[in-house]
Structure 1
Amino acid sequence: MRTKAQSWALAALLATAVSPAAFGQTTTSPLRPLDLERLRFQPAATDSMLVDTGRVLPEGGYRMLLMVNYERGILLLQGSDGLERSILHYRTAGWLAGAWSPVDRLEFSAKLPVIIAQGGHGAEQLVGVSEPDSFGLGTPELGVRYELLRREEGAPVFLGLGLDIGLPGGTADAFGRQAGWAGFQVAPRVSVSRELGPVVLGANAGVRIRSKEVEPGRDVGTELEQGVVVATRGKGLRGEIALQAAESLVESDFALELLGGVRLPVGAGFEAFAIGGHGFTDIPGTPSFRLGAGIAYANEPEPVDRCRTGRSHTPEQCPNEDDDGDGVANKDDRCPLESGSVENNGCPDKDSDGDGVVDREDQCPNEAGPSSERGCPVKDTDKDGVPDKDDACPNEAGPASERGCPVKDTDKDGVPDKDDACPNEAGPASERGCPAKPQKPPEEPKPQPQEEKPAEETTSPLEHIVQFPVNQSEFQENEQQQLDAIAAYLKANPQLSIRIEGHTDNSGPEEANRTLSQQRANRVRAYLIQKGIAGSRMEAKGFGPDRPRVSNETPEGRSANRRVEFVPVSER
C-alpha cells in the first residue's frame, strides 16, 4: 500500500512540474492592440440608421442619441495545438453620438464609444497573450458630410461625400484603438440613394485608412468599406435592412455582417430604436451576432421657403413662380426654364422658314411665305410677280397692270395695241403708234446762255426705316410701297447685298425682345423674297433693344426704336 501511494504522489509531482510545457500554447505572432469595433451607424439617420445615403439634415437641424450595443464572438485566436480560443467573447458598449447641420448641405457629427464590459476565455493558455481589460474607451470619431445632388432640385439621385476621422483616446488594452499612427484613422466615402415609392435604396463605398498591425494568423489594417440598405419612409414606424462589408487591403480577408433596424417616434421629438445583426466571417471585430437599442432626440426646423428666398429650386417646387420671366407661371408653362410666349403656353415660338410666321400658325413651316397666305409661299407659275390667284394669264408672264397677261404689240413698235392708233403699222409713241408724218426741219434755236442747275440729290431707298407696332412682327400696309421700291432698287443693282437689322424698344423681357427683333427682320426679308429678291443676297439679324436710335424714355422714342433698317454689306 505504501509503495502504491508513493507512486501516485510521484506522478502528481511530475504532472505539476511539466504542466506549463504541456498547456502553454504559442501563437504565430504576438497579439498587439487594435480597434475591434466594426459597427458603422449614422447619427443623423436621415434615411437610414446604418448606411450613409448621401442626404444630410436640413439647415439648422440636429439629432442626438444614446445607444447600448451587445455583441458576441469578437476575437478568436488559434494556438499551436490547432484549437481556437475566444479571447474576446462578448462586449457591451455604450454610444453617445450626435449630428448637426449649421448651413445648407453641410453636416457635422461626433461619436464617443464606451466599452462598459467585455471578456473572454483562453488567453491564459496562450504564451504572450494577456486578458483584455474589461472596461475602456473606443476610438472617438468626428465626421463631416456634404450633399452634392438633391432629388428635390431635379437630380436623379441624392449624392454626398463623407469623411470620418478616428481620434486617439481609445483604450489599447481593451482593443479600443490601433497601436500605430497614435490611433488615428481616416475614412472618406461617397454615398448615393433614391426613393422608390414607400422605400429608399441607398449605398456607400469608401476606405478606412489605418495602421497595419501584425496579428496572429492574419494582418489587420486599411480596408475598403461598403454598405447597402433598403429602408422604409414616413413619419411613423420605420424599418430597414442593411448589409455591411469590409475587404482588407493587407490580407485576403472579407468581413460581412447583415443588420436590421426599427425606429418609432414616441413624441416631443424623441425616437426609440433597436438594431440587430449577424456576422458571417470570423475576421477580428466581426461578431457572430449583435443587439442594440437606444433613444434619440431630433430637432427639425421649419423648411426653408426656397421660392421666396431665391434659393435653387425646380419649377415643380415653386409652381406659382415664373422662373423664365415670360409671364406664364411655372404650373402653366410647358417650357418653365425657357422664355416663350403666352400664346404658346410659355414655350418659345419657332419660325423654321424665317418668314415671320411662327410654326404653330404656319401652314407651310418649311417654306417661306407671307402671313396673308398663313406662311405658305405665293404661287406664281409664270414668274411675272402676279400671284396665280390674281393672274388672269397664270401661264404667261405679264405686268400687274394687265392682271398678269402679256401686253400685245402687233406691230412691235413698243406701243401696246390698246394704246396704238395704228396697231398694224409701226410708229413712235408720240404719234400714238402711227407712222410719223414728214415735217419741216425745225429752225435752229438761238443759243441761249445756260444756267448751271444744281445736281439733284438722290436718296437711296435703303435709307428707309420700317416701323412696327408694339409687340408685333407684321409691318403696316403703308410700308409696302416703300418695300416695293427697295425691291426694285435691289433688282436694279444685282451686285448689292444687304443686312436687314431688326430692333425693339426696351419694354418687356430682354430675351423676348431679341426674339421679336429677329422675327421683324425675318418678316421683311420674306417680303423681299416674295418680290423676287434672292434670299442669298439678304441676311436677317435681330438685335433686340441693344441699339436704340433715340432714348426709350418717351413713347415717341420707343416707337422710333421699333424698326427694321437696311445696311449694304457688299457688292458682289
Structure 2
Amino acid sequence: MRELAWTCVLAAALVATRAAGQTLSSPLVAFDAERLQLSAAATDSLLVDSGRLLSEGSYRLSLLANYERGILVLEGSDGESRSILHYRTSAWLMGAWSPVERLELSIRLPVILSQGGHGAETLEGVAEPASSGLGTPEVGGRYSLLRREEGAPVSLAVGFGVGLPGGRASAFGRQEHWAGFQLSPRVSLGREVGRFALGASVGARVRATEAEPGRDVGTELEQGLVVATRGDGLRGELALQVAESLVHPDVAVELLGGVRLPIGHGFELNALAGHGFTDIPGTPSWRAGVGIAWAHHPPLGDVCQGGRKHTPAQCPGNDEDGDSVPNKEDRCPLEAGAPDNRGCPDRDSDGDGVVDRLDRCLKEPGVQGRQGCPEPVSPSVREERLSLADRKIIFQVGLAEIQGDGARILDEVAELLKSRPDVSLRIEGHTDNTGPEQLNRSLSQERADAVRAYLIQRGIAGSRLEARGYGPSRPIASNDTQEGQSENRRVEFILTK
C-alpha cells in the first residue's frame, strides 16, 4: 500500500509538472482566422479586385469549396507546437451586381463546414474550436473613378466593405470584440497589356485587437497583385496577397494561382491553389479550392447614342466636334476644324491672315496675294533684319524694363549704328499671347520705346530710330509651351537705308 501511495503521488506530480509546462504566454481570445481574399465580381481575377467593374445590369453568383491546412499553430511554455486548427473545409457563397453605371454591390458569405486540430486540451485556458460555423459575412460596394473604355490610362475604383457580426467566435469565424464588425476600405486599379490583365488592390482590414499567444491580431494593411490572361476560353492567373499587421510586427504572405474555364450558358468552372510563406495566424501552409459561377451580362447599349460616355475611336461614324468630318476621318476629333484640313482647326502662326497650311512664309508676316510672304521691298528702301534670337533681351512678364544682359546687347547695337551712319533702325516689340491682346500691344510698344530711349542715351539720333509694338500677332514659336512663350517675348531690329 505504501508503494502504491508513493506511485500515485509521483504520477500526480508528473501530471502537474506537465500541465505547468503547457501554459500559454498570453490568453487566447477568439478571432477571425480567415485570410482568403476573393473577388466577388471576378472581372479580371478570382483573387484580386482590379479597377474594372461589372457593366451596368450585370451580376455574378459563385460557390467555392476551399480546403486548407496549418491555419493556427500555438506553442506552449514547454516549447512544443500544437496545431489547434490543423485543417478547415469551408464554402464561399458570393454575389456581385451592378445596378447602375459605375457602381457595383457585393456580398460574401464564408461557411465553415468542417475543421479540427489537436493539442488544445493540453493547453490551459484553450478550448477545442467548434467543428463548424459561420464565418464573417461581408457586404460592400465599389465605385469606378476611371475607365479604360473611356480612354483612361488605367481602370481605377474605390471600395468599402463591412464585415457583419454573424460569424461564430468559437469556430474562429469572427472577432470577439466590436461585436464582430470589420471595415475594409480599398482602392483597386487595372490595365490590359496585350493578352494579359494586370491588377492591384491596396486597402485595410480595420477590426478589434485580440490577444493570441505570442502576438496580437487586429487591424492590417492588405495588398494584392495579380497577372491574369484574357480571352473567352481557358484563363489562368497568378496572385500575391500580403497583409501587414499594425498591432504586431507580422507580415502574412500567400502566393496563389487560379484557372477559369467557361462551359457555356454563362457558367464557369474555376479552381485555385495557394501556399503560405509565414506562420501568421490564418495563413495556411497550403490550400486548394474548386468552384462554379454563373454570370449574366446584358447586351451593351449603343454607347454612341443617348449621350453615353465614349471615345471617338468607339464611334467612328459620329462627328464629336460638329465640324462635318466624321471621327474616323478627323485628325482632331475633339476640336472643330476645317474639312480641307482633315477636321483640324486652321492656325495662323505669324498673324498675317493666311493659315499655316497655305502660308509659304510661316515665320514671316506677309499678304494673301503672295501666299503669306511679305511684299518685295522697294528698290529705294532696303531692309536688313537683325535678329537678337542669339542675344536675347529678357523682359519679365508684364514689364518693359531692360534687365540682365539687355544693356550689354544694346550697347553693341549702338556701336553698330555708330559704325553705319547711313542706316536707320526700326525697333519691333513682341509679346506672347497670355493676357488681353490690347494690353499686350501696349506692353510691346512700351518695350520698343524703352529700347529706343536707351539707344538715344547712347548717342544715337532719335530721327534714326522708330519703335513699333506688334503685341502677340507675330509669334515665332508656339505659345502652348513656356519655352515658346519666352521666345515670343522679344525685340527685333530692322536696319533700313
TM-score relative to the length of structure 2: 0.75
Match of residue 336 from structure 1: 333
Whether 1:103 aligns to 2:89 is: no
Q: Distance in 1 between matches of 2:236 and 2:378?
A: 78
2:363 paired with 1:366: yes
Does residue 226 (structure 1) correspond to residue 218 (structure 2)? The answer is no
Q: CA RMSD in A?
A: 2.0
| Residues 53-99 of structure 1, C-alpha deviations (whole Å, 9 max, x = no match) | 11100000000011111100000111010111101100111111100
Residue 354 of structure 1 and its aligned partner are, at CA, apart by 1.8
Shift of 1:539: 10
1:22 maps to 17
Q: How does 1:157-236 map onto structure 2 within 5 Å? A: 157-236=154-233
1:154 corresponds in structure 2 to 151
Cα displacement string for residues 328-384 of structure 1 (whole angstroms, at most 9, x for unaligned residues): 111111111111101111111111122221111111112222221111111122468
1:536 Cα deviation (Å)?
Answer: 4.8
What amino acid sits opposite 2:84 in the alignment?
A: I
* Identity across the alignment (%): 62
User: Once the two structures are superposed, what CA deviation does each residue of 1:393-433 show, in whole Å capped at 9, x if it has no partner?
Assistant: x99xxxxxxxxxxxxxxxxxxxxxxxxxxxxxxxxxxxxxx
CA change 1:285–1:538 in 2 (3 A) is closer
Specify whether residues 327 and 134 from structure 1 end up closer, same or farther in structure 2 by C-alpha distance, changes over 3 A only: same
Alignment partner for residue 318 of structure 2, among 318, 321, 325? 321
Measured in 2, the distance between the counterparts of 1:82 and 1:538 equals 86
Deviations 1:270-309 (A, max 9, x none): 1011111000001000000001111100001111211112
Runs ≥4 in structure 1, deviation > 2 angstroms?
9-20, 380-384, 534-540
- Counterpart of 2:378 (choices 377, 381, 397) is 381
The counterpart of 2:295, out of the listed 295, 298, 310, is 298
The answer for the alignment partner of 2:281 in structure 1 is: 284
Aligned to 1:50: 47
Structure with the larger strand share:
2
1:192 CA displacement = 1.2
Offset of residue 15 of structure 1: 4.6
SS at match of 1:202: strand
Q: Secondary structure at the match of 1:277?
A: strand
Aligned length: 389
- CA–CA separation in structure 2 for the residues paired with 1:538 and 1:96: 71
Letter in 1 for 2:169: A
Question: Structure 1 residues 235, 11: CA separation in 2 closer, same or farther (over 3 Å shift)?
Answer: farther
Structure 2 unmatched runs, 5+: 384-466, 474-497
**Offset, 1:538:** 10
Q: Which residue of 2 aligns with 1:470?
A: none
Q: Secondary structure at 1:266's aligned position in 2?
A: strand
- 2:6 and 2:196 map into 1 onto residues whose CA distance is 71
- Aligned: 1:13 with 2:2: no
- 1:13 is displaced (CA, Å) by 2.4
**Partner amino acid, structure 1, of 2:15:** P
Matches of 2:470 and 2:92 in 1, distance apart? 81
Opposite residue 340 of structure 1, the aligned amino acid is: G
Asked if 1:268 corresponds to 2:265, the answer is: yes
1:19 offset after TM fit, Å?
Answer: 4.6
Q: Equivalences for 1:12-161 in 2 at 5 Å?
A: 12-24=7-19, 25-161=22-158
Distance 1:375 1:278, change over 3 A: same
Q: Which has the higher contact order (CA 8 A, sep 6+)?
A: 2
Change (3 A) 1:15 1:95: farther
Alpha-carbon distance in 2 for matches of 1:18, 1:125? 16
Give the 3 Å change call, closer, same or farther, for CA 537–14 of structure 1 in structure 2.
closer
Q: Is structure 2 residue 240 aligned with structure 1 residue 246? A: no
Distance (whole Å) between structure 2 residues aligned to residue 23 and residue 93 of structure 1? 35
Q: Which has the larger radius of gyration?
A: 1
